[in-house]
Every structure is written in C-alpha cells, then in structure tokens.
C-alpha cells in the first residue's frame, strides 16, 4: 500500500513567497517614508514658528517717551503715559504696571497694537505720591518686559 507522504508538498512555491514578502516590504517602506515626511514637515513648521517668535521677541523695543503725573479740576490724580515703538516690527502692549513702595497698580490693555515708529498713549486714574520713586513696567504680547523708574 502506498501511503501519501505528509509534508512533501508545498502550499506556495518559492517565487510566489518571495514576491509576497517583497511586496510587503515595499508597502511598509512607502508607508514609513510618507510618515517620516509628514512628521518632518510638522516639526519644521514648529521650528520655524519658534525661531520667528524668538527673533521677533529680541527685536521688540519700547521707549517711554513721556510720563506726566497730574491732577484734574476735581482733584483726581492721574498719570498720562506715552510709549513709542522703536523697533522695526509691530508690537502689542498687554499690561502697564505702576509699582511704588506702598502700592501696585495694574492696567490691562485690550487695544495695545503699536506699529513700528508709532506711539501709544494712555491716561489712567492713579493716586500718586509726590517724591516716591515709581517703577513703570510695560509688558508686551511676546512676553517682553520693559521697566523704567519715574518720579512724580
């Protein structure tokens, strides 16, 4: 009696198996290249934005042109500030803070966009004390802080 031999016949021949493996490796390679290109593009955009923000932050410059402490007709004390954008790019002033030895007064600015070469003026009610050194702190949207001391 002839018994059939088990394991002597192959389901797929060598060339077919090689073609399947080669196709699988090719598809995985194409997918890997596509994924890496997408990842590199995203990282490049983030790096460009970070670099641009840092360079722009270094380029910001605000000069305090004019500080006037006054009293109006109703004996209400106020401060009048004029700030100049001396940089080559537009800035946004977000906060102005007046700090003396006894008090801190914070003004949040909502419309502080200043073009290059332009000035920004604001008048705020502020109870100042004559002869007390006051720190004027100007903060921009990029996080720069400019400080100057003034004397009412």
Tell me whether residue 69 is in a domain: yes
Q: Are 40 and 96 contained in the same domain?
A: no
Domain of 138? 61-150
Report the domain count for the chain: 2
What average pLDDT does this structure show over 132-145? 94
DSSP secondary structure of 94-131: EEEEEE-SS-EEEEE-SS-EE-TT-EEEEEEE----TT
Asked whether residue 26 is domain-assigned, the answer is yes
Query: Which pLDDT value is given to residue 3?
Result: 61
Residues 101 and 52 in one domain: no
Per-residue pLDDT for 2 more than 70?
A: no
Are 83 and 106 in the same domain? yes
In a domain, 111, yes or no: yes
Q: Supply the pLDDT for residue 149.
A: 94
- pTM exceeds 0.85, yes or no: no
Q: What angle do CA 54, 116, 53 make, to 5 degrees?
A: 10
Residue 2 lies in a domain: no
DSSP 75: -
Assigned domain for 8 exists: no
pLDDT digits (tens, 9 = 90+) for 8-60: 555 667 778 888 889 999 999 999 999 998 999 999 999 998 888 888 889 89
- Is the residue at 44 inside a domain? yes
User: What CATH number is associated with residue 99?
Assistant: 2.60.40.10
Structure confidence by residue, pLDDT tens digits, 47-89: 998 888 888 889 899 999 999 999 988 889 999 999 999 999 9
Look at residue 126 and tell me whether its pLDDT is greater than 80: yes
Same domain assignment for residues 99 and 47: no
Where is the domain boundary, 25, 42, 59? 59
Q: Judge if 33 and 78 occupy the same domain.
A: no
Band of pLDDT at residue 138, cut at 50, 70 and 90? very high
For residue 34, being part of any structural domain is answered with yes
- Residue 1 within a domain: no
- For residues 136 and 76, state if they share a domain: yes
């Amino acid at each position: 009696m002839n018994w059939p031999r088990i394991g002597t016949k192959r389901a797929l021949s060598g060339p077919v198996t090689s073609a399947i493996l080669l196709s699988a490796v090719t598809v995985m390679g194409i997918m890997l290249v596509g994924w890496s290109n997408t990842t590199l593009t995203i990282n490049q955009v983030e790096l460009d934005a970070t670099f641009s923000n840092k360079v722009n932050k270094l380029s910001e410059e605000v000069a305090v042109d004019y500080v006037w402490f006054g009293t109006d007709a109703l004996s209400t004390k106020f401060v009048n500030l004029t700030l100049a954008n001396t940089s080559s790019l537009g800035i946004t002033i977000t906060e102005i803070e007046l700090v003396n030895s006894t008090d801190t007064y914070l003004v949040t600015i909502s419309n502080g966009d200043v073009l290059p070469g332009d000035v920004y003026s604001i008048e705020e009610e502020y109870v100042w004390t004559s002869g007390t050194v006051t720190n004027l702190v100007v903060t921009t949207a990029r996080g720069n802080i400019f400080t100057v001391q003034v004397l009412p």
